[in-house]
Structure 1
Amino acid sequence: MTKKPLILVTNDDGINAAGIRTLISVMNTIGDVVVVAPDSPQSGMGHAITLNSTLYAEKVHIDNGPQKEFKCSGTPADCVKLAIRELLDRTPDLCVSGINHGSNSSINVIYSGTMSAAIEAGIEGIPAIGFSLLDYSWNANFEASKSYVKTITQEVLKNGIPNGIVLNVNIPNLPQINIKGIKVCRQAKANWVEEFDKRQTPQGKDYYWLTGKFVNLDHGEDTDEWALEHGYVSVVPSQFDLTAHHVIKNLKHWNLNE
């Protein structure tokens, strides 16, 4: 009898979010599932970890989730660390994070708690995927995502992922009949043009709300933004080695030791 893969499921929207409940339901059809997810929303936390306060992990049972399910007081990266070091009996064969409520394409990957959880697993040598749906609504419909999540997950389990690489998967907010397929892409060159909405409390103290506009500066047809705009699921292989290897040779010509 073939042993089922052990799959760690986490997210950044919190353990009760519709996205992670959908992801759990798909993973339950593939392997043995353990959930370790934040007890409250942690969007935009990036790769933050908890250093100056205690961490808690409480066993819970939600809807028809797996037998081993924990809500954690920490960040998405904390959840993965705690799962691997304390809560799991063995190293998982795969870590999946999401399904995020909202895009993590292009520059958004830098800020994403969803992807940081996947990257944390990747650092530990565990194949990992971050899934996101381009719908920020708490009541987003994830039904069309299921088949793509399952296909990509099964291919990762079958083929593996090179060490140091995680997959960043974004799914357009379209009915399944309108999604054209899956494209492997590069990360688009895009960024947020940010502004702060400055206001005052009744006591006269200044406070700020971060606002902004997303600007795609990349007109290539091989990017995640192009794929999503044209109705495709985007898959970007991402790495956590941030070294700009192509610049090293130039820097060696600097007079750094004089």
Structure 2
Amino acid sequence: MKIGRLKKRSYRSCLLMSRQLLLVTLIVLILLLSTSLCYAQEITVAAATDLRPALDEIASQFEPASGVHLHVIYGSSGDLFHQIQNGAPFDVFLSANVEYPQKLQSAGLVVPKSYFEYATGKIVLVVRADSKIDLSAGLSALLDPAVKKIAIANPEHAPYGVAAMSALKKANLADRLSSKIVIGENISQAASFVLGGGADAGIIALSLVLAPATRSQSNRTCKQKTQRRFCGDSDSKLLGR
């Protein structure tokens, strides 16, 4: 998969974590949570889908070491947010933005000020490795007649979709490309559209492109970038405690 990073936007940013540091941070988060739930046999984690590669690896190491099962539910941050509003019993919420956790805090659905930033995310413009589309022009490459479909996550409830649309609007391309856009319910589905040939290009999470499952299919040409904050909520009050 070829990649073109998008131009930096006005998202509030924090230090970019390497994949290794992200793994360590999330492991510490879950270990701290498991201490407060020392009698629990299972911890339920609601996570944005771009975290699947990291969390799957964490689960494979955490469970044998702790004896506690990690039950991870993946989805778009917006969908998970609404599930929490409706009483879903999650122990940890790893959101792809800070807005949803802040709203949950305002509604009294999480322990006050329990959320914190744990990583910075990037969106990237991608095509398959065998594509002839030249990404050197950045987002303008999407005007190529060879690009019939462009995959993004649903901007109604997926922060990566919001970021993708913001990038297109900033480049004055949103209206010109509107007929080409295909919507994935979450960022993982948007990525699968590109990998599976359902879309000629996509604006997706860099973390998914760098995951071992897709890295072998990647051929990167990085031009522009945008950063976004990520945060996590722990010790949810929805456990009935």
Higher relative contact order (CA 8 A, sep 6+): 2
Please give the TM-score of this superposition, normalised by the length of structure 2: 0.27
Higher strand share: 1
